[in-house]
Structure 1
Amino acid sequence: MTCHAEKGKIVFEHMTESTMLTDLRPLVFSIAYRMLGSVVEAEDIAQETLLRAHRELADGTQIASPKAYMTAIATRLSIDHLRSARVRREAYVGPWLPEPLLTRAGADPSVDLPADAELADDLSMAFLLVLERLTPVERAVFLLREAFDYTFAEIAEVVDKSPDNCRQIAARARRHVIAEKPRFEPSAAARESLAKRFLTAAQEGDMEGLVAMLADDAVFTGDGGGKATAFPAPVIGAEKIAHALRAIFRQAAVADGITVTLTEVNGMPGWIAREGDGRVIVVMALDILDDHVLGVRSIVNPDKLGHLGPVSDRARR
């Protein structure tokens, strides 16, 4: 492989385009998803990043570090998108939740799956909601440092700030995140076991069992986006949530052909409900700690389910 300098850029001659596309698309998607909390928008960012790389390749040259180049483009695009998205979020109807990402191995080839349960925490809905409270630049610096292990010198190139400034931004963001970071049951097996028991109790209408598994101050959050039936505000408390779940599953029980399948949602236990023909109705994710469910997050907004396949009209308003 040979290289030469071009307009301040080191360029390699014989790196294949397919290597860039195959090896770096999951990384680009992962950065964009953690920044935006949207699968569809992250895919758009990944596609735009690849298109820009294609334009660089059009003159027959290759970028010295495709990873650095594509990380920078994806992060900058995500920052710009976040700034415009904040206006839309203010007008959002009801609670806003990230788009669900099915993280079970093989569920989505574009997903850069975490290697272990601890890393899965940075994909959880609870954690992404904590990141929502950071500014776009704080979010970018924090994620590149903490989730992707970039140096401050590398991050400085991406966000156009000095390494010392990035170090200060990261420290400030870390303080915010540590103060609010959710805690989860560390054992994946324990989480999955409780999720199975919790789903069974919900399907059977077992109020006593549900209340016993829910933390006293548990929170149920539904995201319908004004386009599907959902609770307009979070439901708080074990008994209230148990009643809500029993009502939801009672409605599902009298409908024909609905199937509920346990899965992994954003690295945490959850389930997906589908019509008999496979159309998606709802995705729910659980936050679990110390053998109790701390949170139930329900996404029924059809705009946030389309990446999982055709969406049912059952929950639409």
Structure 2
Amino acid sequence: MVAHGIDLDVFEEHRSVLMGVAYRMLGAFADAEDVVQDTWLRWSAADRERVRDPRGYLVRIATRLSLDRLRQTQARREAYVGSWLPEPLATDVLGETLPDSSERALLDESVTLAMLVVMESLSPLERAVFVLREAFGFPYAEIGAMLDRSDEAVRQLAGRARRHVTQRKPRYDVDSVEQRDITERFLEAASGGDMDGLMALLASDVDVISDTGGKARGPRRVIDGADNAARTFIGGARGVYAVADPELVFREINGELGLVVLSKGVPDTVMVPQFRDGRIARIYIMRNRDKLRGIRK
């Protein structure tokens, strides 16, 4: 019994890293939790006296389980109704979501929605290497041992992934205070039907990506351009985005400013705007309630 308690203590010491790896790999909070649970089952059944590096051993298990799950879910994502977005994570309650709040540094750029969306276009192996190397700083040789690949093969995968991400990664440059100010003015203009006010806040090439999974109202195609976006949001409060007993709450979502719309106290919609040159350049909207389990009131 004592040994089991010690084993659990070792596992809990590394849980936040395992959750961080699995969530970045899968972009799905619930799937990441399942991977961490399966990692514990493997750990509890292993001959731990032969494990010299528990952190590396556990990350290896979690990475391989995440790769298997990612390959299994790709077919489901191809058949997904409308746009597919990663599951949002409320990072302002990190102490509850990732138990070791001292590891808040794990919430770097690689966990933002924009980066997770870019990583969706990587192959599973490229994604694994990118996460392990760029987000967690594992040496190439250790990554190779985790993935049964040579050091040179890992370096090539890392190079391809880094180039791909660099080419596709959006550039946003507005500080947090200005982000909130712009968002508040955006909400005021939308609720007041102020078309000119909205146009002044939206980049001309803004796009709006909504993930409903066919389980809530919302556009299934990407909305392009300031005019189309403004018209969508002006009619949204009474149309596709209408909710019962709404309550709007600013939250930190994936390390960035976000807005959660509660309906009767339950998360209904998560909106995460992205900013460029003092305007909103992209808006992610998530309404599939099955994907809002990482949001807590």
Residue in 2 that maps onto 1:159: 147
1:285 aligns with 2:272: yes
Which structure 2 residues correspond to residues 1-317 of structure 1 after superposition, within 5 A? Answer: 16-56=6-46, 61=49, 63-106=51-94, 108-110=96-98, 114-115=104-105, 120-185=108-173, 187-251=175-239, 257-276=245-264, 278-308=265-295
| CA contact 2:274–2:282 (8 Å) conserved in 1 | yes
Question: SS of the residue aligned with 1:127?
Answer: helix
Question: Are residues 158 and 15 of structure 1, via their aligned partners in 2, closer, same or farther at CA, if it must alter by over 3 Å?
Answer: farther
> RMSD value over aligned CA atoms?
2.5
**TM score, norm. by length of structure 1:** 0.85
| CA contact 2:218–2:241 (8 Å) conserved in 1 | no
Matches of 2:4 and 2:231, distance apart in 1: 62
| CA contact 1:102–1:266 (8 Å) conserved in 2 | yes
Runs of 4+ in 1 over 4 A off after TM superposition: 111-114, 251-256
Bigger shift: residues 186-195 or 293-302: 186-195
Q: How many residues get paired?
A: 293
Question: Are residues 105 and 195 of structure 1, via their aligned partners in 2, closer, same or farther at CA, if it must alter by over 3 Å?
Answer: farther
Percent of matched pairs sharing the same residue: 38
Q: 1:120-177: CA deviations, max 9, x gaps? A: 4211212111111111001001111111111101111111101111011101111111
Give the helix-richer structure, 1 or 2: 2
Q: Which amino acid aligns with 2:196?
A: E
Q: 1:57-100: CA deviations, max 9, x gaps? A: xx674732111011101111111111111111111111100111
**TM score, norm. by length of structure 2:** 0.90
| CA contact 1:120–1:266 (8 Å) conserved in 2 | no
Matches of 2:91 and 2:147, distance apart in 1: 29
Matches of 1:156 and 1:138, distance apart in 2: 12
| 1:107 Cα deviation after fit | 6.9
| 1:14 Cα deviation after fit | 11
Matches of 2:192 and 2:226, distance apart in 1: 17
| 1:257 Cα deviation after fit | 2.4
| CA contact 2:174–2:277 (8 Å) conserved in 1 | no
| 1:264 Cα deviation after fit | 1.6
Matches of 2:176 and 2:16, distance apart in 1: 23
Matches of 1:79 and 1:14, distance apart in 2: 28
Question: Are residues 271 and 62 of structure 1, via their aligned partners in 2, closer, same or farther at CA, if it must alter by over 3 Å?
Answer: farther
| CA contact 1:219–1:235 (8 Å) conserved in 2 | yes
Matches of 1:62 and 1:198, distance apart in 2: 58
Q: 1:196-238: CA deviations, max 9, x gaps? A: 3323333333322221111100000111111221202000111
Residue in 2 that maps onto 1:313: none
Q: Name stretches of at least 5 consecutive residues in structure 1 with no aligned partner.
A: 1-12, 311-317
